[in-house]
């Protein structure tokens, strides 16, 4: 979901219904501790041997997408990369 939202913004789809719905979904799914449920591995180590999980990804990227969306919709400069 997060990567799809970041991709949509990268191609200029800031005002689409998909962007609004995706951002609403992220906000609604946020856990009380501030994170998001993310049971998947986030990187391949050696497939079928071991996989990596970067715990920060489930906190960083779900925050980045709505922040970039807010900045673009409200005209603030995007302070992130890209």
Q: Is the pLDDT at 61 greater than 80, yes or no?
A: no
With cut-offs at 50, 70 and 90, classify the pLDDT of residue 64. confident
Percent of the chain exceeding pLDDT 70 equals 76
What's the CA gap between 28 and 11, in Å, rounded? 25
Q: From CA 14, how far away is CA 12, in angstroms rounded?
A: 6
Amino acid 19: pLDDT: 85
Q: Assign 31 a pLDDT band (cuts: 50, 70, 90).
A: confident
Spell out the domain ranges in the chain.
2-73
Specify whether the CB–CB gap between 35 and 58 falls below 8 A.
Answer: yes
């Amino acid at each position: 979901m997060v990567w799809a939202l970041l991709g949509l913004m990268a191609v200029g789809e800031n005002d689409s219904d998909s962007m609004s719905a995706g951002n609403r979904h992220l906000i609604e799914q946020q856990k009380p501790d501030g994170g998001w449920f993310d049971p998947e591995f986030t990187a391949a180590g050696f497939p079928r041997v071991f996989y990596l999980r970067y715990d920060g990804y489930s906190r960083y990227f779900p925050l980045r997408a709505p922040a970039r969306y807010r900045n673009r919709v409200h005209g603030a400069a995007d302070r992130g990369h890209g």
